[in-house]
Amino acid sequence: MDKVVSYATDAVADISSGASLAVGGFGLCGIPSVLLKALHDQGADDLTVVSNNCGVDDWGLGILLRDRRITRMIASYVGENKEFARQFLQGELRVELTPQGTLAEKLRAGGAGIPAFYTASGVGTQVADGGMPWKYSPDGGVEVASPAKETREFTLAGRARTFCLEEAIVTDFALVRAAKGDRHGNLVFNKSSRNFNPLAAMAGTITVAEVEELVEPGELDPDQVHLPGIYVHRVLPLSAEQVDDKRIERRTTRKA
């Protein structure tokens, strides 16, 4: 039951080229930066990554993207990463943009063993109708476009509406960050870092969690556990220096 690994290099050693990853975090909040740095140093490439966004140019997933380690990205937001946008628009990266709530539910469904679900999000747009650019060719044309999705009408609260079918996501690995964790893998997330982290962890066939504070089994109030250890396979305790190494995606200030 003791899932603790001492070194980040050991935690990601078996992530091979061509693997799929679910990565927690939102912007730069709650991202598993230590595991991502170790994965970058490890050298795996041709990765498929599922995450809300792709970090920034020099931090988080951005360092993998910068060195062309990611070939396919499933996300809901391009955001602050200029290299992400450049690679996508120049046909170097396949990007499957997904409504944010739909992406969250696709990850949760994968972890819950639900193969697919219907949602109204995207109905009447290219999300459901197909034709959304997934990969551009070097000359600017659309090389790969999204397919049309199955739609079906349901009646809810006396109102008939059209819904489209979305398939769940299960990945080879998941990388997440938690504020606290015990040796059995039970995790607690701090405030807004409880964003995509629990969902990404659920979707991973093998889930690795870096934790800011490691506690012994029994120290966590079961009612306060955000993710049970059944979903977590490895726990990496962070040093104080690693815990403090956090970045702000966009700093905004005002005059005093």
What tokens were used for 229?
């250890």
The pLDDT tens digits for 64-109 are 999 999 999 999 988 778 899 999 999 999 999 999 999 999 999 9
State the Cα–Cα distance between residues 243 and 245, nearest whole angstrom.
Answer: 6
Domain boundaries, the chain: 8-115+168-244
Quick one: which of 168, 204, 211, 171 has its CA closest to 189? 211
Put the strands of the sheet holding 151-156 in their side by side order.
116-119, 159-167, 151-156
State the Cα–Cα distance between residues 235 and 99, nearest whole angstrom.
Answer: 30
CATH code, 8-115+168-244? 3.40.1080.10
For a pLDDT cut of 90, what percent of the chain falls above it?
89
Q: Which helix (H) or strand (E) holds 119?
A: strand 116-119
pTM: 0.94
3-state secondary structure of 153: strand
The pLDDT tens digits for 5-24 are 999 999 999 999 999 999 99
CA 249 to chain centre: 17
Residues 187/211, Cβ–Cβ less than 8 Å = yes
The pLDDT tens digits for 112-144 are 999 999 999 999 999 999 999 999 999 999 999
Q: Which helix (H) or strand (E) holds 37?
A: helix 33-42
Quick one: which of 211, 152, 155 has its CA closest to 186? 211
Section 28-49 average pLDDT: 97
The pLDDT score that the predictor gives to residue 105 is 98
Q: Which helix (H) or strand (E) holds 23?
A: strand 20-23
- Kindly report the backbone phi and psi dihedral angles of residue 62, in degrees, each rounded to the nearest multiple of 5, phi listed first: -60, -30
